[in-house]
Chains A and B, each alone.
Chain A
């Protein structure tokens, strides 16, 4: 449904996105994950036809986003990151205006406006001026406007920014509901969000794709490196603990952090070295140190995300 081929976008001499290729099949919910400034919004803006690529191309439903921009726009519902709205308009006026821009007839417009007002929980706010709405409600108006013409593709840039926890849950629920008959791209830097809502996750950092897969695949990838945490009291033997742990098979890194009278050891080990918990327990007991915690972190997206961004930053 959406094809991005060798997309490069430069702003002056700054290369925001470099050689990104991505194919999103019909019905998929794709999460673009990345730290701020990674290039998510740029990719989305090229996809929607708002910006032309410097090199490469993007297409939606086989329509080119530059040469057939109008066709692309008709098929696309877009919630921009800034979600800028006309503050002087009432919610219902704004949605009606958007309906006109998409060429909906009077009846179709009325029905569409009612539908999205219902779906985005805007009923009580329908006659309110947009400028007087809270950020959360404004976000809903932006979402309603994106859904208004019932497009097959929805592109939502940071859809839950500014929402309170309950609204975030409701929005995630709505996104899951819409997922059935829409192809969706949503960008976020909030991990649980994409984890819960997306079929597939693409991690972007410094303008390039760093990881791409389903939530499970990425979790597995995150588990490539096993992590353990040990918290013990710092005794006279403490200095040798790091050393002893470091000698265990497969251990690649040991960090010792002291705080509130306890010493926290964060251990990274290569995968395929088996479970090190028993060995770690032995080390601590041999040194006769009181221990209050010993556990293994299962691979999480967050670890992968942090690792990837750290690697990219270090490079």
Chain B
């Protein structure tokens, strides 16, 4: 556990010592802040963060892979993986540490958006329960995206490739599970709808509902991607 935290800590610090980290952070805050101001701060609009949460879902499709693209590919490109993998750490600890570091950066990126509810508070009385649920959902979605991103960066030693693959994976996945079901009949549409990240997110969390089955859905997705990433890192030895 100590080693996992050490790796996560190093990863988190690395984001704040490279320009990429700040660019990603600034982009996310700029766009989400603009969207929040444009969609919510109007007379007559409900004092909720619904639109921020809905839009952040799509924004993260592009932002999260930018956070995760360097995780393992950078180690392979630089060759630092050799001295890391000859320290007493397991492959799983390396993958987990890197993912936790990325999630840490994602949380740091979300932290300034806590100002949005304060702005709402200024004007009216927002429903904090649904804001809380929205953040839980956003964190789960982000962590899931980052888990897939970790896998992509374990497979492709090129950061750009890792980024593109992660973005396309989610675009296709969201398309298949949120859009395609409208055109195929039962039972397929029901199954696909159940697998939709977007619907699970916007029907539950963004509305203020925290559903256990949805939490299990997200957590099992993360476990799946991270396990696959560990296997890929392990397979490096046998190639």
Contacts and interface: CB of A to CB of B under 8 A. Distances in A.
Contacts of A73: 86-88
A221 B208 CA distance: 82
30 contacts: A45-B82, A49-B86, A50-B85, A50-B237, A51-B237, A70-B90, A73-B86, A73-B87, A73-B88, A74-B88, A76-B86, A78-B83, A78-B86, A80-B79, A80-B82, A82-B82, A84-B78, A84-B82, A85-B80, A85-B83, A86-B14, A86-B78, A86-B80, A88-B17, A89-B10, A97-B10, A100-B9, A101-B87, A101-B89, A142-B83
B238 to A, nearest CB: 7
State which size class the interface on B falls in: 20 to 34
A145 to B, nearest CB: 7
Interface string A23-48: 00000000000000000000001001
A78 B3 CA distance: 18
B86 A103 contact: no
Contacts of A74: 88
Interface string B58-97: 0000000000000000000011101111111110000000
B42 interface: no
Nearest to B82: A80
Contacts of A207: none
Given A50-B85, A52-B238, A85-B80, 18 more contacts: A70-B90, A73-B87, A74-B88, A80-B79, A80-B82, A83-B83, A84-B80, A84-B82, A86-B80, A88-B14, A88-B18, A89-B13, A89-B14, A100-B2, A100-B6, A102-B87, A103-B3, A103-B88
A49 B88 CA distance: 10
Nearest to B18: A88
Contacts of B3: 100-101, 103
Interface residues of A, number: 28
A142 B84 CA distance: 12
A101 B5 CA distance: 9
Contacts of B18: 88
A45 B86 CA distance: 9
A76 B89 CA distance: 13
Interface string A187-230: 00000000000000000000000000000000000000000000
Nearest to B2: A103
B150 to A, nearest CB: 18
Interface string A151-167: 00000000000000000
Contacts of B86: 48-50, 73, 76, 78, 80
Contacts of B238: 52
A283 B83 CA distance: 60
Contact of A84 (B6, B83, B87): B83
A97 B6 contact: yes
A98 interface: yes
Contacts of B7: 101
B2 A50 contact: no
A218 to B, nearest CB: 30
Interface in B90-119: 90
Interface in A83-113: 83-86, 88-89, 93, 97-98, 100-103
B10 A86 contact: yes
A68 to B, nearest CB: 11
Contacts of A84: 78-80, 82-83
Contacts of B14: 86, 88-89
Nearest to A71: B88
A78 B87 CA distance: 9
Contacts of A76: 86
Nearest to B81: A84
B32 to A, nearest CB: 27
Residue in A48, A80, A83, A100 whose Cβ sees the most chain B Cβ within 10 Å: A100
A78 to B, nearest CB: 5
9 nearest CB pairs, A to B: A100-B6, A84-B79, A101-B87, A88-B17, A82-B79, A73-B88, A84-B80, A80-B82, A84-B78
Contact of B6 (A82, A83, A101): A101
Contacts of A82: 79, 82
A98 B89 CA distance: 11
B98 to A, nearest CB: 13
A78 B238 CA distance: 21
Contacts of A85: 80, 83
A102 B237 contact: no
Contacts of A80: 79, 82-83, 86
Contacts of A51: 237
B209 to A, nearest CB: 40
A50 B86 CA distance: 6
Residue in B6, B10, B86 whose Cβ sees the most chain A Cβ within 10 Å: B86
A118 to B, nearest CB: 21
